[in-house]
């Protein structure tokens, strides 16, 4: 039954993406970069200049902000968004979080990274983004989420976000998804939290996370429904 649910979930996710990038990419696997390179050219929805699968920062802030408040006051928390694409998670944290925070968004699509850097810096006649706290910082870098060594040292992030990235990587097979999980846990600071946002059923996702993150605490929270769909936040908390 779990295998059937995974198959149906991935088919539904792929159909949604392919509707957004119709044409020659209609048969593309979600794990392939050429599909995501196409997205910044698509019409935007939600916040200006960003495009969100599932939901955006506004829907997630109620979960994210309390976690950031738990960080030591003397050390502003660092947040990593793996597979950030052109989502509003990074920009929302940067512009609306009232506490100092350092945010890094990474994606393997140079097109998406260039788009977000342009949005941040006020390119093409736009107004540069203003931080919600003067000490907050936001950066975007091109990187493969399955190998974060070039951009992220071990234990360097208080919070790691994955909104749909596991879902996309798993299209090419679970070994890649487990490698993604391993990298996310490697860069997580002691006692830090990894959050995977997905619409995948807990009966499918939880066993994978428990298998791939032994020694960590794994739990799930429902989010929504948004647009009639219930989503899940899978929280993996490292040991201190």
What 3-state class would DSSP assign to 155?
coil
- Give the residue carrying structure tokens 């996310």: 184
| 80, 160 Cβ separation under 8 angstroms | yes
Measured distance CA(216)–CA(229) in Å, rounded: 28
What pLDDT score does 175 carry?
95
Is residue 158 predicted with pLDDT exceeding 90? yes
What pLDDT score does 34 carry?
55
| Better pLDDT: 49 or 131 | 131
Cβ neighbours, 10 Å, residue 170: 25
**52-92, pLDDT tens digit by residue?**
889 999 999 999 999 998 876 658 899 999 999 999 999 99
Structure tokens at 2: 């779990």
Measured distance CA(137)–CA(12) in Å, rounded: 36
What pLDDT score does 38 carry?
60
What pLDDT score does 74 carry?
59
**193-239, pLDDT tens digit by residue?**
999 999 999 999 999 999 999 999 999 999 999 989 999 999 999 87
DSSP 126: P
What pLDDT score does 92 carry?
96
Mean pLDDT score of the chain, rounded to an integer? 84
Is residue 240 predicted with pLDDT exceeding 80? no
Is residue 22 predicted with pLDDT exceeding 50? no
Measured distance CA(174)–CA(168) in Å, rounded: 10
Residue 51: pLDDT band (50, 70, 90) is confident
Measured distance CA(177)–CA(192) in Å, rounded: 20
Is residue 30 predicted with pLDDT exceeding 80? no
Domains in the chain: ranges and CATH: 81-238 (3.40.50.150)
């Amino acid at each position: 039954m779990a295998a059937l649910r995974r198959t149906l979930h991935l088919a539904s996710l792929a159909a949604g993406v392919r509707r957004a990038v119709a044409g020659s990419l209609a048969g593309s696997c979600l794990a392939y970069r050429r599909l995501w390179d196409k997205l910044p050219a698509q019409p935007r929805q939600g916040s200006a200049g960003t495009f969100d699968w599932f939901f955006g920062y506004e829907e997630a802030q109620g979960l994210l902000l309390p976690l950031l408040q738990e960080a030591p006051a003397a050390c502003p928390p660092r947040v990593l968004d793996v597979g950030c694409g052109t989502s509003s998670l990074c920009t929302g944290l940067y512009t609306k979080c009232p506490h100092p925070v350092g945010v890094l968004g990474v994606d393997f699509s140079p097109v998406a990274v260039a788009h977000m850097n342009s949005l941040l810096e006020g390119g093409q006649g736009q107004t540069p983004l203003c931080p919600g706290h003067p000490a907050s910082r936001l950066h975007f870098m091109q990187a493969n989420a399955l190998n974060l060594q070039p951009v992220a040292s071990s234990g360097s992030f208080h919070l790691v976000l994955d909104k749909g990235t596991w879902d996309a990587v798993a299209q090419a097979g679970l070994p890649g998804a487990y490698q993604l999980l391993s990298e996310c846990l490697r860069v997580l600071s002691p006692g830090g939290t990894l959050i995977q946002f997905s619409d995948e059923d807990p009966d499918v996702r939880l066993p994978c996370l428990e298998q791939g993150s032994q020694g960590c605490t794994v739990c799930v929270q429902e989010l929504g429904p948004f647009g009639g769909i219930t989503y899940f936040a899978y929280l993996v908390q490292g040991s201190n």
